[in-house]
Chains A and B, each alone.
Chain A
């Protein structure tokens, strides 16, 4: 009944072949064609992660006249004054180069008559990105990185000194146990969806905005290895079109549609003027919407009634590159955006470091608090407003840093990444990973992954600020969430999985539980409201710079308890921090 074991050695192993992971691999292979690079990917690299359906814009680009400093000022304002300016600045310096690079790989970017990129708002440019992911995947393969598709990473290997020594996981198709030993590890698994009860609980269970297959594995692996995590409490709750949960940036930036309530009042323009009106920070645009709904002036809409039939057609074209479901939805329900406004809704909350800043606490080189372990993309913390291009920029930094580390600290490229015997870790992980399957094979009864998933989601929705309570938070309810989640930890041993697909689901739920526990600890600790809408504490409704202009970090100790660590904020770019930039 023991699974077959497959052992692989590499210089660098990248966990997750998505947006950031692909750029990390491309960077390393271009700098060092002889480097052995292995990507562990739970899906298939051609269409995995957030880019599966495509993209229609690059949301972080320095259009003419902008600088890394002006970008950082804007992101600081959008993030309500708290962020890692060093991380934002270092990535911003690379944004335009990395976009040019991906264009060279074949991405069609829309251009003006003079050859410059067509802007879609201050920091955005328009692309035809339907094929973006297959394009990145091809570039990775052409450069000779080895891709292990359908292998789910489950934990890091660590050496005696506590340095990253590789990754372990299992094959969803072949049922094998994989260990990939390496001199450096880059985590790029994206953020976490499915932590809260979904917006569509019944037949649209996975009709989430964020990829439902990004389940926080990278966070959970880091948490289990006692890596330091930051800012989980800055949850991301997206304001999206109702039912199909389609991004609204296309409507706001590309088609100049304002938010209106059921009385056709432009509440952002009128009530949030001092904070930027329609362009107010992302969390306030959700907060404004929520306030209208709560006070009985909903539903709210993006008002598209000014669009001519030609512009409606352009709008549909733009969505087909990223979210074709909405074009089908309009056809099915006979909706003409030129005649009726598009109804809004909020999603369930996500934990992610690409729009918000939940993730690994990293240094400027993207090294985590574990030596030899790097993080980039949505799994890396401290740097919000990353989007697809910021993930690429961060992927290139992580790739370069990992190579530099190998050369300076690990004796350079080449065989035998780890000298010592790691078999104890491997044996333990085989037992941990396969136990839900062993249990089912032995004919034991237990808990199905979907049952535990719904249990976690219900706890989070009821007690940790889900969609059913306007996402609002309070100490007494968070304490209950924490107790209930802690109790679930002891239930993990009852999970059963009939096959390897279900085993993947079991690990997704184990990982989500780890993420949810850290999230609740962070939500409890921050006793102010910094990001209204994303993190509204009804018991501490004001922003409190005197006590809380700092990062809430955490680390799980050997006993499985989550310890909170506070870290100071450092302002590097001069200027006002809260006024519209």
Chain B
């Protein structure tokens, strides 16, 4: 699995670096997050959930999935909202307690 990093949205706060269970993320000199090895990512999305700036997105390996769909979590007090988008831009939203 792997991770999309949208550098322009990353403020270098380090919360994803703190939380990744595989110690895969680190901050580069200009305070942007980077991943050591895409193939080492477990796809647990702990980092994605920890980023308040929406700079991280889970990316499935191309060997198993077509390009173009996305899934994003949004966290609130006691709830989590997921927005899943397919290649054509159709969205499905899910609101769950947490």
Contact = CB atoms under 8 A, between A and B. Distances in A.
B97 interface: yes
A211 B23 CA distance: 13
Contacts of A317: 94, 96
Given A324-B73, A327-B84, A207 B43 contact: yes
A52 B58 CA distance: 15
B10 interface: no
A327 B36 CA distance: 26
Contact of A331 (B43, B44, B71): B71
A208 B40 CA distance: 10
Interface string B1-36: 110000000000000001111110000000000001
Contacts of B70: 328
Nearest to A52: B44
A389 interface: no
Q: Secondary structure at chain B's binding surface: helix, strand, loop or mixed?
A: loop
Given A203-B38, A327-B82, A501-B36, A211 B1 contact: no
Given A208-B42, A331-B71, A131 B98 contact: yes
Interface string B41-57: 11111100010000000
Contact of B1 (A47, A321, A325): A325
Interface string A107-126: 01000000000000000000
B5 to A, nearest CB: 16
A116 to B, nearest CB: 18
A128 B96 contact: yes
Given A44-B19, A128-B97, A332-B86, A327 B39 contact: no
Contacts of B63: 200, 202-204
A213 B20 CA distance: 10
A504 interface: yes
Contacts of B71: 324, 327-328, 331
Interface residues of B, number: 44
Interface residues of A, number: 43
B60 A244 contact: yes
Nearest to A314: B94
Contacts of A131: 80, 98
A206 B66 contact: no
A53 B45 contact: yes
A327 B86 CA distance: 10
Given A128-B97, A320-B82, A332 B69 contact: yes
Contacts, number: 139
A204 B3 CA distance: 12
B39 A53 contact: no
B58 A204 contact: no
B73 to A, nearest CB: 7
B96 A328 contact: no
Q: Secondary structure at chain A's binding surface: helix, strand, loop or mixed?
A: loop
Contact of B60 (A52, A208, A329, A504): A329
Contact of A206 (B40, B67, B98): B40
A128 B98 contact: yes
A49 B82 contact: no
Contact of A332 (B22, B36, B68, B92): B68
A325 B94 contact: no
Contact of A130 (B36, B64, B80, B85): B80
B60 A328 contact: yes
Given A108-B98, A243-B64, A328-B58, A213 B22 contact: yes
A204 B45 contact: no
The winner among A150, A212, A332, A501 for most chain B CB atoms within 10 A is A332
Contacts of B97: 108, 128
A243 B43 CA distance: 13
A426 interface: no
Interface in A35-51: 43-44, 46-49
A325 B46 contact: no
A334 B90 CA distance: 11
Contacts of B42: 52, 206-208, 211-213
A172 interface: yes
Contacts of B23: 43, 150, 172, 501, 504
Contacts of A407: none
A332 B87 contact: yes
Contacts of A150: 23
Given A205-B40, A320-B82, A47 B46 contact: yes
A445 interface: no
B94 A333 contact: no
B65 A243 contact: yes
7 contacts: A130-B80, A204-B63, A206-B41, A206-B42, A207-B43, A320-B96, A501-B36
Q: 5 closest A-B pairs (Cβ-Cβ)?
A: A47-B46, A332-B69, A52-B44, A332-B65, A243-B64
Given A213-B21, A244-B64, A317-B94, 20 more contacts: A44-B18, A46-B18, A52-B21, A131-B80, A150-B23, A203-B2, A205-B39, A206-B1, A206-B22, A207-B43, A213-B42, A316-B92, A317-B96, A325-B60, A328-B58, A331-B85, A332-B60, A332-B66, A332-B68, A501-B23
